[in-house]
Amino acid sequence: MKNHADIIIVGAGIIGVLQAYALQKRGLDILVIDSATGPGMEVSYANAGQLSFGYSGPWATPGLLKKLPDMLANPATPLRIRPDWSMEGLYRQLQWLYWFTLNTSRKNFERNKRRILNLSKYSAKYSRQLLAETGIEFSNRSLGTLQLFRDQRLFDTASNNDVEPLRKADVAVQVLDAEGCIKQEPALARIHANIVGGFLFEEDWTGDCYILACALVKRLTANGVRFLFNTPIAAVEVGKIAYGVRTGGNLFYSANAIILATGPLTRKLTDPLGLLAPVYPVRGYSITADIIDEAKAVQSTVLDEKIKVAITRLDHRVRLGGTAEIGGFNRDTFPKRYQILLSALEALFPGSADLKTGVEPWLGLRPMTPDGTAIIGKTVIPNLYLNLGHGTLGFTQAAGSAEHLARVISGEAVELDPSDYELERYGKRYQNHALYHESASVSV
């Protein structure tokens, strides 16, 4: 394999793969490098399968801090904070939590929500284009997301506070009573008495992120994009510009531009360059099981508002996804978290899936920024670009993020405001110029 490319993308998760697609369409020679054995093996592997173009927003909401003590005291709530006792870990954890806290102010929330929704809506446009161009099937459906309420107080509060701003932001959302919810998801008729109402995000899709990533890689490989797996990158090589990457095995690959699509592992590469990309791993769980009774099964995504579990249909399977553990890179799993997912399925779609054999449990590390908004765009280091930190929405926002960055790199007119997504939005101290002026080839 030749060791030069127009563009090197580090990371073949859903973000890196779609980035390769957007750039290959522009006639560029692309090399994608990943430490995993294949595409989408990390957090893109078994996410909840929602392309939630309308149901998109930050986790840092006004009022969250007040609710936090109750949430943490109740083991059934989706949020857990576990101290990361490693030397560096605790410092990073507290730092990130502090930044996250700052984003719960009303002003920051409104700004973050606007940025996130804009990117998700933009992504809807380029996801439709992707489907039209490739016809790839990835267990996809376009039946919407049903945000389901089983608690009258929660439903009333959300109806009063959330719906109007969503409509103002051009999100197609319908408010449904219990009958409306059952019309959307007929199997819910069996628990009619427990349903208060719901919001239907009509334009949302569902699909299997991993299947999409693999199908795209096959297609891109046939079109000349090179993929190098089992290859950890130890350092980005930077002089006055970024000019290549060095592997753990000390091989060097050069390029005219380098894009990091490295998800939660980003800081290993960016910290040594003096770039502080505030991405932290927020652990989430999923379970995938076979459907055994169609009449009892979910048809699209149902999101249980109380316990924040998403139940998504993927052809003959159902996937349950949720929970947020702020606990560092540790991959130990806690059986109770899987139990929460299973109890959501039994509460809403009892008897629909085979939970005895062939159940696939999974843990993923969401690449979360404190403002919930992805980091996409140039850095102070010429020729080094970032496309990462999509948190809970990477599958949803992949196509739009890739198109936006492809436009930035190729000098085409952009359709999103670049300053909303660049690392620079956090301020100058996140981009340390001193290292950028030195030759900063630093190993990790």
Ligand X SMILES: Cc1cc2nc3c(=O)[nH]c(=O)nc-3n(C[C@H](O)[C@H](O)[C@H](O)COP(=O)(O)OP(=O)(O)OC[C@H]3O[C@@H](n4cnc5c(N)ncnc54)[C@H](O)[C@@H]3O)c2cc1C
Contact footprint for ligand X (CB under 6 A) = 10-16, 33-36, 40-44, 47-50, 232-233, 261-263, 265, 268-269, 284-286, 310, 321, 364, 366-367, 388, 390-396
CA–CA separation, 195 vs 205, rounded Å? Answer: 23
Rounded Cα–Cα distance for residues 132 and 255 (Å): 31
Write the CA distances from 110 to 103, 166, 259, integer angstroms: 10, 12, 29
Work out how close the CB of 342 gets to ligand X at its nearest, in angstroms, rounded to a whole number. 14
Q: Which is nearer to ligand X, 182 or 338 (CB)?
A: 338
Residue with smaller CB distance to ligand X, 109 or 395: 395
Could you count the other beta carbons within 10 Å of the beta carbon of residue 76? 11
Residue (41 or 163) nearer to ligand X, CB = 41
The one-character DSSP state at 125 is H
CB-CB contact of 283 with 324 (8 Å): yes
**Residue whose CB is less far from ligand X, 149 or 205:** 205
Q: Shortest gap between Cβ of 201 and ligand X (angstroms)?
A: 13
Dihedral of the alpha carbons of 377, 122, 176, 190, in degrees to the nearest 10:
-70
CB distance 387 to 408 below 8 Å: no
Question: Rounded to whole angstroms, how far apart are CA atoms 181 and 188?
Answer: 8
Which amino acid type is present at position 85? W
In 3D space, the residue among 311, 344, 341, 343 whose CA is nearest the CA of residue 324 turns out to be 341
State how far the Cα of 325 lies from the Cα of 291, in Å rounded to an integer.
28
Smallest gap from Cβ 123 to ligand X, in A, equals 9
Looking at beta carbons only, is 52 or 178 nearer to ligand X?
A: 52
Q: Which is nearer to ligand X, 12 or 173 (CB)?
A: 12
C-beta of 12 vs 214, nearer to ligand X: 12
CB of residue 150 vs ligand X: minimum separation in angstroms?
21
Tell me 291's DSSP state.
Answer: B
* Least Å from the CB of residue 54 to ligand X: 12
Residue 159: CB minimum distance to ligand X, A: 24
Least separation, in Å, of the C-beta of 189 and ligand X? 25
CA 46 from chain centre, in angstroms, equals 11
Closest approach of ligand X to the CB of residue 13, in Å: 2
Q: Which is nearer to ligand X, 232 or 239 (CB)?
A: 232
- 173 backbone dihedrals φ, ψ, rounded to 5°: -130, 130
Length reported for the chain = 444
